[in-house]
Every structure is written in C-alpha cells, then in structure tokens.
Amino acid sequence: MSWRASGRIRRSQVVTIYGPGALIDLPRHSAIVGGLETWPKTSELEEIVEPRLVRKLQAMTGVAAPRLYAPPAESSAPNQPMRGIGAWLFPEWFVVQEAGGGDDRERSRRLVHRKGLDDKGRFDGRPVVPTRFVRACPKGHVDDLDWHGFVHEAGSECPRTRQLWLDERGTSGDLGELFVRCECGKSRNLYEATQLEMNPLGTCRGARPWLGRNATEDCKQPSRLLIRTASNAFFPQVVSVLSLPARGSAVEAAVRELWDDLQIVDDAAGLAFLKKKPKIMARLAAFTDEEVLAAIAATKSGSGAERPVKQVELEALLAAPEGFGDDVPVDPNFHARRLPERVWRRSRRSDGIAAVLQVHRLREVLALVGFTRFEAVMPDIDGEYETDVQRAPIAMEPSWFPAVENRGEGVFVQLRSESVRAWLARPGVKTRIDALSNGHQHWRQDRKSQRLFPGGPYVLLHTLAHLLIQSLAMRCGYAASSIRERIYVDVGAGRFGLLLYTGSPDAEGTLGGLVHQGRYLEDHLLHALQMGALCSNDPVCALHQPGESPERRWLHGAACHGCALVAETSCEMRNDYLDRALVVPVVGVGDAAFFPAG
C-alpha cells in the first residue's frame, strides 16, 4: 500500500524486543519490523567491534566472518533525510469502527481486507483498526487468519466476496465472547481457533512477511492463533558477551607466537630451560608455568577451540587484583578490583562467600541472531545456544547482525568452593535437588525439550542473585528492573559466582551507585536472607513441590512473584530454576539451605 507512517523506538529495543519479525504498534498503524534488507546500507551504520562475539556468531550461524552494526540513530542535524528501519503494514485485515448506538454488551463490526479500504485507509468513510488476531507457528512464520475459511470450515461454497462480521457478546474481550459471522448466516466462536487438535486454522503457509511478500518457505506445522500484542509473539535470541580481558586467549596467543621453540616442551623442566632465553622469558612473564603448559598441551592436541562465553569471563573476573579501584584503568572496557575482606566481611554469616569484586567499568555487547514465537529458546548455563537450535532468520541471507553495546558497572560475588562441596554432600540438599530435577523432567516431557537440568549450584546462585537484586535496588539508585545478572557455574574447577550489573547504551558509563554497594555486601546478604526466609504466600509457596505441580510450575521450588521472581529484563533464565529453600531455611524445608538460619 502507499501509506507512509513513522514511529520511534530506542536503539537497544531493536535488539531486545523490536527486532526484525517483531509485531509492533505505531501511533496509527500496526506493522511488522522488516528484515535486514530494509535497513540502511552498512556503510551508513556504526560498526561495533567485539571479536569474541563475532567468533561465537560464526559458530552458531555458519555465516563467515559476520560483522556487527548498531541500529541507525536519529539524525540531529536539520534538513537531513530520515534514516530508519523498514516495517511492513501487518496484519492486512481490519475491524471497522462502526457508528455508535446500541448496547455496548453486544456489538457487531465488519471485518475488511486492506484491498477494501480507500486511499486514506478508511472503509466507507469510517476509521478502521487492525485486527488483533493473526496465525503463526513456533518456527516464527506469521500470517493473516483465513477468516472465510475459519467461519465456513471445510466444504463450504459460500463466495468469499460476502461480508464478514466480528460479533462481541460481552465486554471482556474474551475469546469465548467473540464470534466470526458471515453474511450468509454462518457463525463460529473464535475460541475454537485455539483447539489445536481440530486444526481449525489449517496448515501453516510458511509466510515470512518481515522478509517480503513472497518470502515463504515450506512448513507442515498447524497454524496457531496468536494475539499480535501478546508477550509470546516474539522471543528474540540474543547472544551477549562482556568485553573482559580473556586471559586464556592471551596465553594461547603467546604460545602460538613462540611455537617454534615451545613445541618441544613436555614438562616444567623443559619450559624452565627454554625460559632462559630472554625473548621467551619476557613474552611469558605475565603467565604462570601451569597456564603456559596447559596452553602448550591444548595446542598440541588441537583443542584450542573457542571456550564458552562465561568461562572466559569468569577467569577474567577471578584474575582481578586486590584494591579499591582508585587507579586509572588501562582498559576502558573493564576495570575490576577485589575488595579486601576487612572492608566487607563483618560476621560469620558470610562464611560461604569467598570474595567480593567491584567492577568499576564493564562493556556488554548484545547481538540479535533470530527469534521464535510461542516458546522461548534459552541459552545454557554457559551462555551458549546450540548450533542447531530452531530460530527464524532476520534476513534472507544474513552477512551481519544488529548489535548494541552497554557500558556500566557491577558487583561480583564468589562463593567458597569448599562450602559448596560440603553443601552438596548433605542429604537434605540432595533430596531437594532431586525434587527440582524431577520437576525439570516433567517440564521436558510437556515441552518436548532437550534442555538439561542446570544443577543445584546454579539454582542456588540464581535464587541468591534475585534476592540480592531486590536488596541492592533499595540503596544503589537503580531500579531493580535495570539490574541484570550473570550466573557462573564451573563445577569441574569448583568455581561459582554471580555478577549483578547495570549498563546504559546512551552513555559512556554509569554513576557508581551499584559498584559502591559492594562494600556493604554483608548487609545486603542479611537483608536478602531475611526476605527469602518468609514469603507473603507462605506456606503455599514454601511447600510447593516442582514434580507435583497442578499449575505446571515445574521449574520452581519455593519461589513466586511474592518473593524470588524479578523483572524478566533482569533474569537470564526468564525466571525459571528458582528455589529459596536452597538459599535459606523456609517453612517446611529447613535442611537444604546454603546459608544457616539467622
């Protein structure tokens, strides 16, 4: 159509909630965000450089040497042409806003296709609004409903030129009160469109309107009714990394540089002999012999593959020196210091905590690689997506991906590995983790998913992070929804930690309110444990059994909106895998907590 409309969203929203394929409401129209083909040329976009993320995307998508570009920014210069992202008007069926009168409890409005509208987007002089119902499938395909086919079902000879109506028999807008009616007298309740076993909407046509009108592909899945403004209409698959110095990569680079000499090294004695050469000694001075020998062994075995995202980040965090962060940072993207214990530890309540780090500067880069509908696909506990995971594409043949960078600050908390091992050995803890694993198995069977259970240490850290976020938000100056988490679990090496951080895409950094709270970590821990010990929904919340959940909350233990759940913008697992009982004693479960009762 020849209509032209515009709307504005934040650049970061293009990656997180309004990427290609997302259904969006503009001030006067409904649209679907166009694929990368509708973006400005890459020469007009700002490139974001993050080599580690590029390597991850190449492994995930098979795109050779992909590049990252930020969404176009609005020009502040006068008389500059508009640069933006294309969007297609969608859906193409509308509901006519009929003249007033009659009982509001029962009203009928005409359903019309865009071809029946005039140049001003009206029908017979009356305004129209896009219908809120479309059909889609989990592969991301989305299409208009075949309204004629739905109301007449199979075998009808009623001409498709006859007028359709949407009858509302009530004021709630519930599907059970909505009926699609044809001028011929045939009528059908819209609630029937949700009954998948009847396949009322037919087989998916593989429509991908965000890539263009003719960008269909084969699909044999049944179409499902989708409310285009619902939260399950678009689940972006976003890959994120922190721009932290990768110590492992640095030692591997040094070993490769000196490989002509180091390839004969098999043990510490051989390494010590070669380090007598000034050139080798100077190049390896920043690394321990153990790190160098491990890098030599990995190079010899050909196992120098890219390591998981979070593993590299964890190593960089744990390598931070002790201090207060007063020195001038060498790296503008990362500056962290391990707080001396005397600053933050005040009692034995925090015995399970090994260290607290103040991350004064950090840079997070997020890239959008695809999306799904109806069901979200989450990365594993290492921050990795499976290479063959299902996703809808954001371009016909992508060679680059949209990305944004956030700069901010954070607090990292490391648990003592000896305490975690002792906690895992307790019978009450094993029983509780088995119950959570049982709930996970029920969830896998229901969703036909292959996702693995993340393990007890992850649930412990994840729940503790949520409780700490709520405590930190009261004093740090940032809303709880702007504080995000990254959970680090390396069972093999006995390393466990959590990073709580905030960042902004529109500034060079943040104001230090969150990082300053690292000094008061024990106060926040005490407050978090007090909040976690008793929920307003107890005893129902505390006694919830994941494997015996009639409401199908199989991934939750003692956790609900009254205690451990936070905004989904903060959580890396969409509020799954939470259990207060693993953190602090709760009603009915007193023997599974990592932290003792106060």
Spacing of C-alpha 95 from chain mean position? 34
Question: Hey, is 53 helix, strand or coil?
Answer: helix
- Residue bearing tokens 């992850």: 458
Question: Hey, is 338 helix, strand or coil?
Answer: strand
Taking the C-alpha atoms of residue 293 and residue 300, their distance in angstroms, rounded to an integer, is 11
Per-residue pLDDT of the chain (598 residues; tens, 9 = 90+): 334 556 677 888 889 889 999 999 887 789 999 999 999 999 989 999 898 898 889 888 889 889 999 999 876 666 666 678 888 999 999 999 876 544 566 788 999 999 988 888 889 889 999 999 999 998 999 999 999 989 987 667 788 888 999 998 877 778 888 999 998 888 899 999 998 888 889 999 999 999 988 889 999 899 999 999 898 999 999 999 998 765 566 787 788 788 888 888 888 888 988 888 988 898 888 888 888 888 888 777 654 456 788 988 998 899 888 988 766 667 788 899 999 999 999 888 899 999 999 999 999 999 999 999 998 888 888 888 866 668 899 999 999 999 999 999 999 999 999 999 999 999 999 999 999 999 999 999 988 888 899 999 999 999 999 999 999 999 998 999 999 999 999 998 899 999 999 988 876 667 789 999 999 999 999 999 999 999 999 999 999 999 887 888 999 999 999 999 999 889 999 999 999 999 999 999 989 999 987 6
- DSSP assignments along 95-137, one per residue: EE---S-S-TTEEEEEEEEGGGS-TTS-BTTB-EEE-SEEEE-
Structure tokens at 204: 């998916």
Please give the backbone phi and psi of residue 31, each rounded to the nearest 5 degrees, phi first.
-145, 170
Taking the C-alpha atoms of residue 447 and residue 355, their distance in angstroms, rounded to an integer, is 39
- 377's CB contacts (< 8 A; 6+ apart) are 235, 237, 385, 389, 390, 391
**Residue 150: left if φ>0, alpha if ψ -120 to 50, beta else—which one?**
alpha
Each residue of 317-326: b (16+ CB within 10 Å) or e?
bbebeeeebe
- Residue bearing tokens 């409310």: 227
Question: Hey, is 253 helix, strand or coil?
Answer: helix
3-state SS of the chain: helix, strand, coil percent to 5? 30, 20, 50
Q: What is the number of residues in the chain?
A: 598
- Name residue 569's amino acid: T
Taking the C-alpha atoms of residue 48 and residue 402, their distance in angstroms, rounded to an integer, is 9
Q: Which of 469, 521, 476, 478 is nearest to 503 (CA)?
A: 478
